[in-house]
Structure 1
Amino acid sequence: MALDVWFVLPPRFMLLDFAGPAEAFRIATEFGAPFRLHYAACDTATQCSLGLPVGGLQPLPRQLPEGSLILIPGADCSAEAYAMPEAQQIVSWLSTGFQPQHHQLATICSAALLAGMAGLLAQRQCTTHHSLIERLRQTDNSAQVLENRVFVQDGSVWTSAGITAGIDLALQLISQLAGAATARDVAREMVVYFRRAGQDAQLSPWLAHRNHLHPAVHKVQDLIAARPEQDWSLSTLADQVHVSVRHLSRLFREHAGVSVHDYHLGLRAALAGQWRASGLSKEKAALAAGFSSARQWQRVQQAASAS
């Protein structure tokens, strides 16, 4: 039996918020998932964040089939976009047409604000893009807004952080609705090697300590990030960027704000967490990331939490 998946597009919707999850569900159908995809808006045509017109859209359904999943992408300049009549119509439609006992709702990025405006986040745990956390709290002060989460499920309502987090959420929904094997096939087809779990941080450790312009430090970070499981010695890294060990240590701490050793351990811990989320045991995940044991990984995690 086919499951209806409705992508509801608000005005100025973020194209990647929509296209990433939509492609994930479309590819899932190629692997046999029983999804029937619909693309709806308040009019037959609307415009995305890039200014491109999108036509051939269905109207908002008067009655959702039982079991339907609604996915709503966020919008660019959401404060302005959600004040528009079309967005308010979506809010009204959600507040009357969405039945938590019969449907599921998934919002991406700022679309959580639409769910909040419709009264669907009352007393629920939820999240959104890190820059919109306070706005979401103000939208419904009874909502339990969680910070720095990729996505959050509370009952039949899912909320997620911005942009690429929508793909992580889509893969989780596909896993739940069509099975883990299908989700793995879709992730492989989309070249999403590691799927982030809901409890993972929005602010990726792979991007941490890179807000600088020093080319040698970036090159060293690129080397470590490409193979964090490898035992990188300071002398090997220094040779790669043609500086002394002492000079590299000074440059790295000055520009990255952390020692080479601690940076390396941070990426190993992130990699171990990804291997653990993929199904490996703690010990195997730690070894795959380059730790000598799960105990060493735990010590690194404890040190990070204490700092």
Structure 2
Amino acid sequence: MQRRVVAVIFEGFQGLDLTGPADVFGLATLIVGESRGYRLEVAAVHPGAVTAGNGVATLAPLALDQVTGPIDTLLVVGGLAAPAHLADRQLIAGISRLAGLADRVSSVCNGALLLGEAGLLDGRRATTHWLTAQDLSDRYPAVEVDADRIYIRDGHVWTSAGVSAGIDLALALVATDHGHALARHVARALVVYLHRPGGQSQFSTAMRTPVPRSEPLRELQTFIDANPAEDLSVPALARRAGMSERHFSRLFTEQTGVSPGRYVERSRADAARRLLEHTGHPLDRVARESGLGAAETLYRVFRRHWRVAPGDYRRRFRSKQT
């Protein structure tokens, strides 16, 4: 059965929030055929050209009040202009009405704000771009906001993190509809991650940690990330930084927000993630090359940081076959 996807856009929307999922659904349809694939329809408050934040105009053939049911998936995009549209009662009322006609309701990036304004996230877990998470939580206290997820499914409502995470969301929807094999096929064709699980963090080690003000600490941070299998103990790092252990630990924690040991563990977990994505190394070799030593330590640390077992992570979205 063909699945109908209705995407809601507005002036200043994020272009990739629409085109990323659209390409996923379009390629999936090419593979499985139109009768089993997806039909994407784009709607806005008023029909016609709608200009994205990057200046590219997109045609919305339908006004929101012209859309009738049934709808398989309602997709609400985000963008820097999304907060300014929260006061647009036609837009919010249109989203609310269409949600009632849809089997699934979804948002990309800070499109979650629009779902929140429509009351569609009350009592649910949701995610959004990490820069918007606090705003979402402050505006809609009935929503349980998790800023560290790629996407979250709570019942029939799906929300995703920023921009490119909309591709992950669309791949997850395809996997739900047609199985993981098709989602992997689509991901490989688009040259993107093979379906990152929703529980994966939005952040790499570098993104999660402020850049130190001190140049020696910045250089040391780069060294840690590039050499996970080296001796990265506090004494070794303090010597490399030319500081006493006590002064080094205090300064590093003050400027990065985490202790040296915590940063090293995060960095090694990130290195292990990359090895699992891009190599076919057995887990004991991944553990050694990422500086975690043994497979048992790899399993424990990986679960703590990425909330998934190393083997499952690799099976779900390894970037190439070896």
Counterpart code for 2:197: A
State the distance in 1 between where 2:9 and 2:104 align.
16
Q: Greater shift after overlay, 36-45 or 296-305?
A: 296-305
2:297 alignment counterpart:
296
Secondary structure of 1:91's counterpart equals: helix
Distance 1:285 1:56, change over 3 A: farther
- TM-score normalised by structure 1 residue count: 0.74
| Aligned mate of 1:65, from 49, 70, 73 | 70
Shift of 1:153: 0.8
Q: How does 1:171-210 map to 2 (within 5 A)?
A: 171-193=171-193, 195-209=195-209
Q: Is the 8 A contact 1:44 1:57 kept in 2?
A: yes
Q: Is the 8 A contact 1:197 1:277 kept in 2?
A: no
Which structure 2 residue ranges, 5 or more long, are not aligned?
Answer: 233-237, 307-322
Deviations, residues 240-295 of structure 1 (Å, cap 9, x unaligned): xxxxx954676x987885899875643331354577799x9x95795496444332
Identity over the aligned pairs, expressed in percent?
Answer: 31
Distance 1:36 1:303, change over 3 A: closer
Aligned-CA RMSD value = 3.9
Deviations, residues 35-75 of structure 1 (Å, cap 9, x unaligned): 11222222222111122322253333432225x11111102
- Structure 2 residue 42 is matched with structure 1 residue 39: yes
State the distance in 1 between where 2:195 and 2:275 align.
10
Counterpart code for 2:18: F
- Structure 2 residue 53 is matched with structure 1 residue 49: yes
2:146 alignment counterpart:
146
Counterpart code for 1:295: E
Which structure 1 residue ranges, 5 or more long, are not aligned?
Answer: 235-244
Q: Is the 8 A contact 2:8 2:75 kept in 1?
A: yes
2:94 alignment counterpart:
93
State the distance in 1 between where 2:153 and 2:84 align.
27
Q: Greater shift after overlay, 110-119 or 204-213?
A: 204-213
Counterpart code for 2:93: S
After TM superposition, which residue ranges in structure 1, 4 or more long, deviate above 6 angstroms? 213-224, 252-256, 258-262, 274-278, 302-305
Q: Is the 8 A contact 1:268 1:289 kept in 2?
A: no
1:136 alignment counterpart:
136
Q: Is the 8 A contact 1:14 1:75 kept in 2?
A: yes
Distance 1:198 1:135, change over 3 A: same
Q: How does 1:97-116 map to 2 (within 5 A)?
A: 97-99=98-100, 103-116=103-116
Q: How does 1:113-262 map to 2 (within 5 A)?
A: 113-193=113-193, 195-209=195-209, 211=211, 231-232=229-230, 246-247=239-240
Counterpart code for 1:64: G
State the distance in 1 between where 2:209 and 2:305 align.
15
Secondary structure of 1:176's counterpart equals: helix
Q: Is the 8 A contact 1:269 1:289 kept in 2?
A: no
